[in-house]
């Protein structure tokens, strides 16, 4: 057997193992989030970040500009002190929040559920 096909088989095997590991990791996180209790905390919105998701290579962008798909992250700091927590949220939720808003954060594991601002 020549070295080139053996090398190709090893590379494909590494890719399959890495993809399988990532898939199992994501499934485990989803199951942990589903099993986690609904937590609620009084928090302050401490930071908001939006990032353009770039799924094209530079040559493709020269021909067709990147789409406007965005990722939205919001950080919350507990009013009573403690560690800041960050969650990925949908665009509608992101635009309803303002840094400095106070309210009740609801979450399950590492999944954002809701934020109810105080009037």
81-107 tens-digit pLDDT = 889 999 999 999 999 999 999 999 999
Kindly report the CATH number that applies to the domain delimited by 37-117: 2.40.50.660
- Number of residues assigned to the chain: 119
pLDDT score recorded for residue 6: 84
Q: What is the pLDDT of residues 35-52, one digit of tens each?
A: 888 989 999 999 999 888
Q: Is the dihedral of CA 34, 36, 41, 47 positive or negative?
A: negative
How far apart CA 38 and CA 52 sit, in angstroms, is: 30
């Amino acid at each position: 057997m020549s070295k080139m096909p053996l090398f190709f088989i090893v590379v494909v095997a590494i890719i399959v193992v890495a993809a399988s590991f990532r898939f199992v990791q994501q499934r485990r996180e989803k199951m942990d989030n589903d099993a986690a209790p609904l937590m609620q905390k009084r928090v302050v919105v401490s930071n908001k970040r939006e990032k353009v998701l770039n799924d094209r290579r530079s040559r493709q962008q020269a021909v067709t500009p990147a789409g406007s798909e965005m990722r939205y992250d919001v950080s919350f700091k507990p009013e009573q002190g403690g560690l800041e927590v960050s969650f990925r949220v949908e665009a509608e939720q992101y635009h309803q929040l303002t840094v400095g808003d106070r309210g009740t954060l609801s979450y399950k594991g590492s999944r954002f559920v809701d934020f109810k601002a105080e009037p």
